[in-house]
Amino acid sequence: MGLLAESGTTGQIAVTNANIFPPALAGPIDGATLATGARAVFHYVGQTQKTITPAYVFVIGSVAGVGTQVAEVGIFSSPLAPNRTAQTLTKVVATGTVDDLTVVAVGGDYKGNSTAFTTAVAEGVHLWAAFRCDMSVTEPQLYYTNSPLTNAGGQLIKASASALTSYTTLTTTLAISGQITTFLSMV
């Protein structure tokens, strides 16, 4: 999961874009995992070094989900960097208008918010990219990274999460397995 950076175009996201920030704690992509229904995943992106306007949060789908789609992406902040404990996160912005997760291109496909976010984030903020999905039949499979730093708190989860759009703040738990790969983009 991640953010696409300022300046660029909407639509297909090119991984070579200099404004894409890969997850701060990611290792190489090494497999795919099922997103668990109604579980929100928060991936640490990093601390802002200047005021930025993140535009997109997206995941890389490897196998399409089945059924009615309920999904959200968002950007959350925390007062602390990953610290091997649960964290309380504050919503910066979130949306339920997400690309179709029932169709995935061969070899993987970027899926995220369909319309760019326009909320500015101040310098010095710890940012987390968020993804939640609860398909009516089968969850999509998403590429993940297997990083030894996962246990350092770089990925947090919220089991049985409500829609990301409904939160102001929420308390998460530490994830202890492979990290879903995310990217943060600003356009």
Q: In CATH, what number is assigned to the domain containing residue 172?
A: 2.60.120
For the cut 90, the answer to whether the pLDDT of residue 3 exceeds it is no
Range of the domain at 111: 2-185
Confidence band for 36, pLDDT divided at 50, 70 and 90: low
CB 3: neighbour CB atoms within 10 A?
33
* Length of the chain, in residues: 187
pTM of the model: 0.78
Lowest mean pLDDT of 46-50, 173-177, 182-186, name the range.
Answer: 182-186
pLDDT in tens, 90-133: 999 999 999 998 988 776 778 889 999 999 999 899 988 888 88
Q: What is the mean pLDDT of the chain?
A: 73
Task: With cut-offs at 50, 70 and 90, classify the pLDDT of residue 166.
Answer: very high
- Please count the structural domains in the chain: 1
**pLDDT at residue 187, as a whole number:** 45
Greatest Cα pair distance in the chain? 42
Residue type present at position 161: A
User: With 50 as the cut, is the pLDDT of residue 24 above it?
Assistant: no
Helices (H), 11-149: none
With beta carbons less than 8 A apart as the criterion, state whether 29 and 143 touch.
Answer: yes
pLDDT at residue number 175: 63
Closest CA to 130 of 70, 64, 57: 57
